[in-house]
Structure 1
Amino acid sequence: MFQSYLFPISYAFMTFPVAALFFTLPFLIVQYRKHGYINKIRAVVLYLLLLYLLNAFYLIMLPMPASRHNLPPSGNTIQHIPLQFIQEILKEGNFSAQQPSSYLALLREPAFLQTVFNIVLTIPFGLFLGYYFRTRWVVCILLSFSLSLLFEITQITGIYGIFDYPYRIFDVDDLITNTLGGMIGFRIALWISGLLPKIEQLDNHEDLAAKRVTFTRRSIAFMLDAFVWLTGLTLLNALSVSGAFWISTSVFCLLVPCLAGGRTLGKWIVRIRISTQRERLRLWMLITRYLLLYGLLIGMNRLILVSSQLDGLTSALATVVRIAVLLGDMAFSIHLFIGIFKKKRVLFYENISQTCNVITWPEKKQESAKDVTNSVVN
């Protein structure tokens, strides 16, 4: 019987890296937005929660039928009698109050082991609710019951229509035992919370003014900005607007940051902005920064496309253009790579424009409300 549990658990661990990959981007955005930085303890707990949910899902759903066109169930698909599992345990184990040996026999009965499994299944869920989310016991009951109900509905619907017929029954006793397991986990969390770092105090000794804007943070802001910028560029191209590239770039990289205090949409989401250490941010600084970053680098790469469309350009000259662009890209990549590992991570366009990225945080949420002035590679 225990071998049947190892099979879905192994699937959960195999698919965890893929699930973590999709989970990471929203996780980072929420953490930057809510807390201003990434706390390692918080990250470990949330990834453990993801791993637990994967294990719970596979334990409930596997094994599946060999074909989605499975046969209809031979009996009832709904067990609606509460505490029916008690009668099944007593019946299968031939329990007798006058025979102490029958007590131990119960521990080996499938009905008893299934009940224990249903309780143990949601104990970690209650632990997470009690320790990390700090929910009240009423909320824990509701959420544990909701999680169990989600599992039961998924089973009775054949995973929402993927299979022609349900391959597991809807058991009201599962709702009871899963909810009980959640409450047990909740109580355990209260008992051991004194031995673990307090979640509500993780940020008490963190000084955002001493933290750097990480490469990961700026990359996320860049990806979000690139999506918005490309959407605008595509729209302008669809309308056949001449100079669509320069118009969209100027609006998004110059006009928007100038009006929004150095923020773009992506930077606003992850709570960073463009700033300067010497004086207030000026328009010429933004022009210099983005003219070097986007105008030079992206515009340089556009020369390849332009050169291929010029009929009068010789093949030798076109080759020279491509080589020059390639060398420029390689030089910037090396500069970027070196900047990642340098203590003072200032890129050439930041140095020339006298700008940098800083963390922004509401003054009401930090005692010393100062922006981080350590520039980090984008």
Structure 2
Amino acid sequence: MFQSYLFPISYAFMAFPLAALLFTLPFLIVQYRRHGYINKIRALVLYLLLLYLLNAFFLVLLPMPESRHNAAPTGHMLQPVPLQFIQDILRNTQLSRNDPSSYLNVLREPDFLLAAFNVALTLPFGLFLGYYFRTRWVVCIILSFGLSLLFEITQITGIYGFFDHPYRIFDVDDLITNTFGGIAGFRIALWISGLLPRIEQLDSQEDLSAKKVTYTRRGLACLLDAVLWTAAGLLLNQLSLNISFWAVSVVYFLIVPLCTRGRTLGKWVVRIRLSSADDGPLKLWMVWVRYGLLYGLLGGINFLILDSALMQSFGTAGSTIIRITAALADLVFIIHLMLRMFKRDRPLFYEQWSRTRNVITWPNPQPAAAGESLAN
């Protein structure tokens, strides 16, 4: 019986890298917006929660029918009697009042093992609710019941119509045992919480004003800016407005930051902004040099390659030179970026020439302690 559980668990672990990749972007955005930085303990707990949910759903859904056009069930697909599993255990287990050792037969009974599995299935869910989310016990009951109900509805509907017919029954006892598992996990979390770091105190010793903006944070802001920047250009093109890529770039990267104290949309989302390297006022020439080098020069030469009509106007020789130049520029920039990532105290070339840097924007940041390094 336990071998049948290893099959879906192995699939869950294989699917976890892809799920984690899809989860990372919203995770980073929420953490930067809500907490101002990424805490390793908080990240570990949330990724463990993701891994648990994958395992839970794979255990509930696998194995699936071989075809979407599965055969119609021959028996009842609804078990509506509460605590029916107790009657099944008593009926199918050989018990003797005069032989206490026969009571151990219950532990080998498939109906008991199935009920125990359903309790264990949602026990980690209750742990997460009690330890990380700090929910009340009533909320834990509601969410545990809701998760179990989601499992049962997913099964009885054949994964919401993906299969022609349901391939698992809707069992009221599963709702009861899953909910009990969530409550048990919640109680265990309360008992062991004193041995673990307090989630609500993870940020109490953090000084955001002393933290350096990481390349991960900057890369995320750049990605969000690139999406909006590209979407704006495509929208204007669809509207047949005679506004070039360069005009969109000037407005988004050279004018908007001056009106928003060094913020673009991407920087606003991850709570960073541009500042002068000496913490003085951000000047016009600084913004223009920084973004002119990054998006005007480096981004512009790559944009030329994507514009087939413009490339044809340069002729075969000219377009070849542009492609080679763009490839070399990208290669040099990637090497430069990798070197700076290993030497985090060294600014990138466009930061150095523009005398700008990124700083964290957080309401009322605490001042850095005397002598504390800014390179955390």
With the shorter chain as reference, the TM-score category is over 0.9
Partner of 1:286: 287
- Kindly state the Cα deviation for residue 250 of structure 1 after the two structures are TM-superposed: 1.1
| Contact 2:210 2:367 (C-alpha < 8 Å) held by counterparts | no
Partner of 2:188: 188
Q: Given the superposition, is the C-alpha separation of residues 13 and 242 from structure 1 closer, same or farther in structure 2, using an over 3 Å criterion? A: same
Alpha-carbon separation, structure 2, partners of 1:216 and 1:85: 51
Partner of 2:9: 9
- Is residue 347 from structure 1 mapped to residue 340 from structure 2 by the alignment? no
| Contact 1:144 1:178 (C-alpha < 8 Å) held by counterparts | yes
Letter in 1 for 2:360: I
Partner of 1:274: 274
Single out whichever of 293-302 and 213-222 deviates more from structure 2.
Answer: 293-302
Letter in 2 for 1:263: R
Alpha-carbon separation, structure 2, partners of 1:159 and 1:216: 37
- Kindly state the Cα deviation for residue 194 of structure 1 after the two structures are TM-superposed: 0.8
Please provide the CA RMSD for this pair.
2.2
Partner of 1:95: 95
Return the TM-score normalized by structure 2: 0.93
Alpha-carbon separation, structure 2, partners of 1:354 and 1:373: 20
Identity among equivalent pairs (%) = 65
SS in structure 2 of the partner of residue 130 of structure 1 = helix
Partner of 1:171: 171
SS in structure 1 of the partner of residue 184 of structure 2 = helix
| Contact 1:357 1:375 (C-alpha < 8 Å) held by counterparts | no
Provide, for residues 243-296 of structure 1, a one-character-per-residue CA deviation record: whole Å limited to 9, x for no partner: 511111011112221111111111111111111133211222211111111111
Alpha-carbon separation, structure 1, partners of 2:275 and 2:267: 12
SS in structure 1 of the partner of residue 213 of structure 2 = coil
Provide, for residues 92-132 of structure 1, a one-character-per-residue CA deviation record: whole Å limited to 9, x for no partner: 10334344233111111100111111111111111111111
Single out whichever of 332-341 and 321-330 deviates more from structure 2.
Answer: 321-330
Partner of 2:114: 114
SS in structure 2 of the partner of residue 275 of structure 1 = strand
Return the TM-score normalized by structure 1: 0.92
Pairs within 5 Å for 1:128-277: 128-277=128-277
- Kindly state the Cα deviation for residue 318 of structure 1 after the two structures are TM-superposed: 4.9
| Contact 2:233 2:248 (C-alpha < 8 Å) held by counterparts | yes
Letter in 2 for 1:255: I
Alpha-carbon separation, structure 1, partners of 2:19 and 2:96: 48
Partner of 1:368: 367
Pairs within 5 Å for 1:30-41: 30-41=30-41
Q: Given the superposition, is the C-alpha separation of residues 159 and 302 from structure 1 closer, same or farther in structure 2, using an over 3 Å criterion? A: closer
Q: How many residues align?
A: 371
Partner of 1:53: 53
SS in structure 2 of the partner of residue 204 of structure 1 = coil
Partner of 1:327: 328
SS in structure 1 of the partner of residue 108 of structure 2 = coil
Single out whichever of 93-102 and 266-275 deviates more from structure 2.
Answer: 93-102
Alpha-carbon separation, structure 2, partners of 1:167 and 1:295: 58
Q: In structure 1, which of residues 303, 310, 325 is the aligned counterpart of residue 313 of structure 2?
A: 310
Letter in 2 for 1:281: L
Q: Given the superposition, is the C-alpha separation of residues 375 and 350 from structure 1 closer, same or farther in structure 2, using an over 3 Å criterion? A: farther
Alpha-carbon separation, structure 2, partners of 1:317 and 1:152: 63
Q: Given the superposition, is the C-alpha separation of residues 301 and 106 from structure 1 closer, same or farther in structure 2, using an over 3 Å criterion? A: closer
| Contact 1:356 1:374 (C-alpha < 8 Å) held by counterparts | no
Unaligned stretches of 5+ residues in structure 2: none
Partner of 1:24: 24
